[in-house]
């Protein structure tokens, strides 16, 4: 992450005040019944919503392509989303989609706004609990913030993901943008969002923790 992120965030914040359109993208193979396949739900922000690049280049679309017809991937990510917004939306989406796996990729915008990590933790905990109560496995996708926010805040922020993973016994990707965030060639000019070239790397960061969950639900659905 770069020192210029707070400046870029001001531009993103102006975009948010203009309003956001809730968009749920469903990736499914033609001719296959979605009811016969497990459902994977991605609740994220711009990092999962393919901000600044073509939708088909995003790591969630790449994931759907890798899974082919075995799993239905529902991308309910919104650019600018906070954990508060995600927690408010999740119950309705779970009721509609009944996911088997929920990927939670939220918190970055909380950090960029300097919101209390305790508030972020409570929102993420609520989302984990909602998902588990619905019978879904959860994968938590961690994120980091720039060092200019202060080391104490940064430690508290990143510590939220680890403590939640331990408390709720959920899988964790410690840093979604590992190998990406500090590489200027893999980041867009705003210093916040990865380029199209970075998306396969992001998917590979997620895959080792996601694959065991997928194996479990696919096996269960076919038995």
In DSSP notation, the chain reads: --TTHHHHHHHHHHHHHT------EEE--TT--GGGS-EEEEEE-TTTTTTTS-GGGSHHHHHHHHHTTSSEEEE---TT--HHHHHHHHHHHHHHH--SEEEEE--HHHHHTT--HHHHHHHHHHHHHHHHHTT-EEEEE-----GGG-HHHHHHHHHHHHHHHHHHT-EEES-TTTTTTT-GGGB-TTSSSB-GGGHHHHHHHHHHHHHHHHHHHHHHHH-
193 within a domain of the structure (yes/no): yes
Instruction: Report the percentage of the chain scoring pLDDT > 90.
Output: 79
User: pLDDT digits over 129-182, tens only?
Assistant: 999 999 999 999 999 998 899 999 999 999 999 999 999 999 999 999 999 999
Number of folded domains that form the chain = 1
21 within a domain of the structure (yes/no): no
18 within a domain of the structure (yes/no): no
Which structural domain, as residue segments, surrounds residue 129?
Answer: 39-222
Q: What is the CATH number of the domain that holds 73?
A: 3.40.50.1110
6 within a domain of the structure (yes/no): no
Positions annotated as catalytic residues are 46, 190, 193
131 within a domain of the structure (yes/no): yes
92 within a domain of the structure (yes/no): yes
Per-residue model confidence (pLDDT) at position 25: 53
167 within a domain of the structure (yes/no): yes
């Amino acid at each position: 992450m770069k020192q210029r992120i707070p400046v870029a965030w001001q531009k993103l914040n102006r975009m948010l005040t203009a309003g956001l359109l809730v968009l749920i993208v469903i990736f499914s193979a033609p001719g296959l019944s979605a009811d016969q396949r497990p459902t994977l739900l991605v609740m994220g922000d711009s990092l999962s919503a393919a901000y600044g690049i073509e939708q088909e280049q995003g790591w969630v679309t790449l994931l759907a392509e890798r899974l082919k017809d075995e799993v239905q991937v529902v991308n309910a990510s919104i650019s600018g989303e906070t954990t508060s917004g995600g927690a408010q939306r999740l119950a309705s989406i779970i009721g509609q989609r009944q996911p088997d796996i929920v990927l939670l990729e939220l918190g970055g915008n909380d950090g960029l706004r300097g919101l209390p990590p305790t508030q972020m933790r409570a929102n993420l905990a609520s989302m984990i609990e909602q998902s588990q109560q619905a019978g879904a496995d959860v994968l938590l996708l961690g994120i980091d913030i720039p060092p200019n926010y202060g080391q104490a805040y940064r430690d508290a922020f990143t510590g939220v993901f680890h403590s939640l993973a331990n408390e709720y016994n959920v899988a964790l990707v410690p840093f979604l943008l590992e190998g990406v965030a500090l590489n200027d060639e893999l980041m867009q000019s705003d210093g916040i969002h990865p380029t199209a070239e970075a998306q396969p790397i992001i998917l590979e960061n997620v895959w080792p923790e996601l694959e065991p969950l997928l194996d479990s639900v696919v096996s269960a659905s076919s038995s």
